[in-house]
Structure 1
């Protein structure tokens, strides 16, 4: 395996080019996966402009807007790493409202956000239509290994030390969930693209040797 340093701007351009190479017969679903300190949302946002320049319509969705209600998420306490790993994300809603409608023959209508976890209530937003050739950019954490359908997946990898440094004291209880994710989902093996994100502002691409 080779590791190729790359600037954030060049990374966004290179990924946009790879996404643009996907067939235009239907919308493309792209997962940007990583623990919060790696910045999956920032990378997804950075891809919007270069994709639109290439003539691709884009819809942005964050998995954080598809968490289960607090009554289900926090049923066994607020700091259980296994519940965080297994039960916080409403994968059924993501497939039903976001990813499934972009399958061949689907409606092409995407719900951009479902549940406001801070207010613990539904957003009640209108659906957005994504035409053939459009791109759905879905960012989040612990996304891989759940059977979420996608045409391209990107994993932002952090070493154990970098993840610990970047995780705030109020969220350190989640670290065992991230360790479990590494062992069970093996995101560096299952993702189509792996980006090392240990050094903020200085990413590097992992490439086959």
Structure 2
């Protein structure tokens, strides 16, 4: 029975993914993949161009499967009204576990050039943005949403890289949770929030909801967003002005 182009491509990707997981990128040779997939070597070149093209396809396949699961979990958490902070912590742990279980894929997708061209990586970031947005609408955030996303993203990459660079017997199993709590301490408003965090958390929450305020016109919503961005992005400058002697009389 002749396989379709899609079936042949899938067989090659699965074969290469197995070799990558078991033995690392060095094992993903044209000959090894061809033998495991039951195809001729020229077929791999015809479908993927070269080894780098094949590795890109494998990394995308593994990452896309993981991201699909993440998307289902965040949808379920939203539908069930799961506490957004609990959901974020659980997702963080899953991300660390994935990176440690798939070091070769993690290293491939840590390459900035590969990330820029990866639909799965972009979708993964969008899912993180959704989780952060849930925190913002709950009034739990004291920094702008994009800043919180960047902090968590950078912390996740750094944590996984550090653990992978440490011999397994010397890895600190508490490092991931400790890093998460450090980031949360930077981005979360204290409950109950105290000034100036209270005003900032409120502004961040309103900023998250602004696109839904249909009682306002488009231009009014845009102006509101500009005001709220000014509040959330320059809290230190606002506090400095408020503390300047005589500022109330200006």
Q: What TM-score, normalized by structure 1, do the two folds share?
A: 0.28
Structure number with the higher helix fraction is 2
Higher-Rg member (1/2): 2
Structure number with the higher strand fraction is 1
Q: What TM-score, normalized by structure 2, do the two folds share?
A: 0.25
